[in-house]
Amino acid sequence: MRRISLMEPILTEEMINSAVNALKNERFLKGKSVNEFENYFSEFTGVNHAIAVNSGTTALHLSLIAMGIKSGDYVITTSATFIATANAIAYLHAKPVFVDISIDTYNIDPQGIEDAVRKHGDKVKAIVPVHLYGYPCEIDAILEIAEKCGLKVLEDACQAHGAMYRGQKVGSFGDAGAFSFYPSKNMTVAGDGGMITTNNEEIAEIVRSLRDVGRSKAHQYLHEYIGYTARMNTVNAAIGKIQVKYLEEWNEARRRIAKEYNRKLDGMGDIILPPKCSSKIKPVYHLYVIRTQYRDSLKEFLESRGVECGIHYPIPVHLQPPYRKIGYHEGMFPNTEKWAKEVLSLPMHPNLSNTDIEYIVTCIEDFFRVVK
């Protein structure tokens, strides 16, 4: 049977050779490839500082600490995301304050942010918008609210490497940005890895210390913070520094594939296509996500034909057990709950061929012919 994978990380001889060279010639930790990767990524994103860490979750967590978030603070975010977004807030014994999404973009609704700030007042200290599936948030509106209310902004760009809003890369708008290099992302380090981006010198310095057990720049055995062992290892960075060179090319391939999907799936069954590009928004399609009321049966049908699919995400964060325990329940965020019941991720990676897309679309067409 034909098999088409949902995701397909790229690993070339150039990347393997870079990793082997790092193994042979660099320190396993704090090798020069880490600095090179950070420099390449800061240049790619258009920020002054990029700090490599061991995961996207860590990137969120350490950024919040460096921004001054502490126990008892309220941090506004979305429930339409991977649970790590909220967990990074909870690690600090701060409270994630969820608001609903716009059903058209699946991203956090700025009006919901304003409502939450009015409701909770001075307890709110920060906003963590998520550029879900690689589609940028309405960041202008979010920054306007943050400036008016004196709030920090941490962009969760873990799925949005290279996505652009008004010609500027995400991860460069807020006080800091967090990226993940998990193998399913638009680029990877062949394992877990993350990056913090910022133009704020103080945040950058605090994060550099926090990732390295709170170590001071002045002395290797002087520790200014209760830090973490959260460094990126040199071999992972050696792969990442090569991957980032090809990221724009891969993202363009994803956009071409999304355009082809859109053309062929438009008007088929009850399918709702992903949010589209606009004059100000240029997504990168980390995932190509459709919506349909037949989500579960379509997924089963496609996988019976060898087409791997995914659901990102079937249970909103506010309905996960740890967050139910703090008072969240069904019915609180209707758009988010509708989204979670209908989303289906189709195969999306730069290696998809036109023949693959044609096969996937034909299978979907066959499904809706039976459904009707």
pLDDT at residue 84, rounded to an integer: 98
- Tell me, yes or no, whether 67 and 166 share the same domain: yes
Asked if 123 and 154 count as a contact pair (C-beta separation under 8 A), the reply is: no
pLDDT at residue 163, as a whole number: 98
Q: Which of 212, 227, 243 is the last residue of a domain?
A: 243
218 and 280 together in one domain: no
What pLDDT was estimated at residue 276?
A: 86
Predicted confidence (pLDDT) at residue 116 exceeds the cutoff of 80: yes
Q: Please check whether residues 349 and 221 belong to one and the same domain.
A: no
- Helices 354-371 and 234-265, axial angle in degrees (round to 10): 50
- In a shared domain, residues 26 and 160: yes
243, 274, 293 - which closes a domain: 243
How far apart CA 276 and CA 64 sit, in angstroms, is: 31
Give the integer Cα–Cα distance in Å for 52 and 36.
10
Listed in sequence order, the residues at least 6 apart from 65 whose beta carbon sits closer than 8 Å to its beta carbon are: 92, 206, 210
pLDDT-based confidence at 372, cuts 50/70/90?
low
Q: pTM (2 decimals)?
A: 0.97
Q: What tens digit of pLDDT does each residue of 202-229 get?
A: 999 999 999 999 999 889 899 999 999 9
Give the range of the structural domain holding residue 337, as residue numbers without chain letter. Answer: 247-371
Per-residue confidence at 1, pLDDT binned at 50, 70, 90?
confident
Residue 8 lies in a domain: no
Pair (131, 167) in one structural domain: yes
Q: Taking residues 101-117, what's their average pLDDT?
A: 98
Q: Residue 257: which residues within 8 A CB-CB, separation 6 or more? A: 285, 288, 348, 350, 352, 357
pLDDT at 277 (0 to 100):
87
Is there a single domain that holds both residue 265 and residue 314? yes
* pLDDT digits 0-9 by tens, 66-76: 999 999 999 99
CA distances from 2 to 247, 272, 313, 360 (A): 28, 26, 26, 11
* Type of residue at 113: I
33 vs 297: CA distance, rounded Å: 46
| CATH assignment of the domain containing 208 | 3.40.640.10
Least confident of 108-122, 141-155, 214-228, 286-300: 214-228
User: Are 206 and 319 contained in the same domain?
Assistant: no
Q: Over the stretch 218-274, which tens digit does the pLDDT of each residue have?
A: 898 999 999 999 999 999 999 999 999 999 999 999 999 999 999 999 999 999 999
Signed CA dihedral, 138, 257, 309, 363: sign only: positive
Q: What is the mean pLDDT of residues 99-108?
A: 97
On whether residue 3 sits in a domain, the answer given is no
* Distance set, CA 281 to CA 51, 105, 112, 225 (Å): 26, 11, 21, 39
223 and 103 in a common domain = yes
| pLDDT tens digits, 124-175 | 999 999 999 999 999 999 999 999 999 999 999 999 999 999 999 999 999 9
Are 226 and 264 in the same domain? no
pLDDT tens sequence across 315-369: 999 999 999 999 999 999 999 999 999 999 999 999 999 999 999 999 999 999 9
Tell me what pLDDT residue 364 has.
Answer: 98
Is a pLDDT exceeding 70 seen at residue 278? yes
Neighbouring CB atoms inside 10 A of 26's CB total 17
Judge contact between 96 and 154, C-beta under 8 A: no
